[in-house]
Amino acid sequence: MVVLAERRSSRSAVWAGRLARFSAVLFVVSGLGHRLGLIETIGFFWLLGLIGTLAIAALLLAAAGFYRLWTYGERGGISSAWAVLIALVVLAPFMVSAWRVYAYPQLSDISTDIADPPPLDAAEKSRTADMNPVAPISAEQGEMQSEAYPDITGRRYPLSADRVQQLAADLVLANGWKFIQPPTPALAGGDSYMEALAKTAYLAFPVDVSIRITDEGDTSYVDMRSASRYGRHDLGDNAARINDFLVALDAAVAGAAGVRAAEEPPPAPSEVPVPSAPPAD
């Protein structure tokens, strides 16, 4: 009579699955909590560190589960495979961020005007001690920005300053940003400003945005600044935000200029003398 021994379950594989699932649930719950304002950003950073650690631990335990399956025939191959899949999904944002750290310069404050960036007066009053301080853009930072983002420059538009200001304010609201300083009155021959609080696309990290509109008479010039409240590296986010906003503003101004041109009455035809009829014989 042959007695078949029952295959043991790999404890490594079991715990790999548990840690992987827990890291995924914690990522989703904490991400939603941070986006809804239920979790502060500093606490969220600690949670992200814990989530990454759990996912890596799940991968290591899954590797141990595969080893014991191959060596001792223990059960747990399916559990280990699921653990690897879930852990890699959880770690994907971390890996993308690591690539962005390598690919983009270590900057957290980007402006179309490096020498004289739009001010962040309201943002400076809103920032706490654990946030990045509002400071001038140094020569080293300016050089890094110019090399990495040569296309981040201001825009000149063939519209009045108050009209461009209205279009920019509409875009701020359309993007879901919140004003922390509403648009100031446009001054003839001077500057007007607006400041808003934006959020990063996925994890909702806060970012301060400042827009300056200079009245040049028949034209207006727009400068923009985007500065992260947390972290020394923005992963290229601020430059992308400025570029996307100004591209949208280009389209809005083009549309407004086209409507204005269409609404203008056509020029009066030149007066051409009509010859009189010849006198009757």
For the stretch 129-164, pLDDT in tens is: 999 999 999 999 999 999 999 999 999 999 999 999
User: Distance of CA 187 to CAs 143, 192, 215, 253, Å?
Assistant: 32, 7, 7, 20
Residue identified by tokens 């035809």 is 269
What pLDDT was estimated at residue 187? 66
Across residues 17-21, what is the average pLDDT? Answer: 95
pLDDT > 90: what percent of the chain?
74
Q: Encoding tokens for residue 7?
A: 């295959």
What pLDDT was estimated at residue 43? 95
pLDDT bin (cut points 50, 70, 90) of residue 4 is very low
The CATH number of 109-129+138-261, from 3.40.50.460, 3.30.310.80, 3.30.70.1530, 3.30.70.2190, is 3.30.310.80
Per-residue pLDDT for 70 more than 90? no
* pLDDT, tens only, 217-255: 889 999 999 999 999 999 999 999 999 999 999 999 998
* DSSP strands (E only) in 154-266: 155-157, 178-181, 191-199, 206-215, 220-228
Judge contact between 90 and 55, C-beta under 8 A: yes
pLDDT bin (cut points 50, 70, 90) of residue 212 is very high
What pLDDT was estimated at residue 6? 59
DSSP letter string, 136-152: PPPHHHHHHHHHH-TT-
Q: How many CB atoms lie within 10 A of CB 177?
A: 20
Per-residue pLDDT for 5 more than 90? no
SS3 109: strand
What pLDDT was estimated at residue 107? 96
Cα 152 from Cα 169, distance rounded (Å): 20
Residue 123: phi and psi, rounded to 5, are -65, -40
- The contacts of residue 205 (CB under 8 Å, 6+ apart) are 41, 199, 228, 229, 230, 231
Average pLDDT, the chain: 88
Judge contact between 179 and 194, C-beta under 8 A: yes
Per-residue pLDDT for 276 more than 50? no
**Consecutive H or E run containing 119:** none
pTM for the structure as a whole: 0.83
User: Distance of CA 68 to CAs 11, 13, 26, 126, Å?
Assistant: 10, 9, 28, 55
Per-residue pLDDT for 280 more than 60? no
Q: Among candidates 220, 204, 193, which has minimal Cα distance to 120?
A: 193
| pLDDT, greater one: 42 or 190 | 42
Q: 223 - beta bridge partners?
A: 212
SS3 233: coil
What pLDDT was estimated at residue 281? 41
pLDDT bin (cut points 50, 70, 90) of residue 259 is low
Domain positions in the chain are 11-103, 109-129+138-261
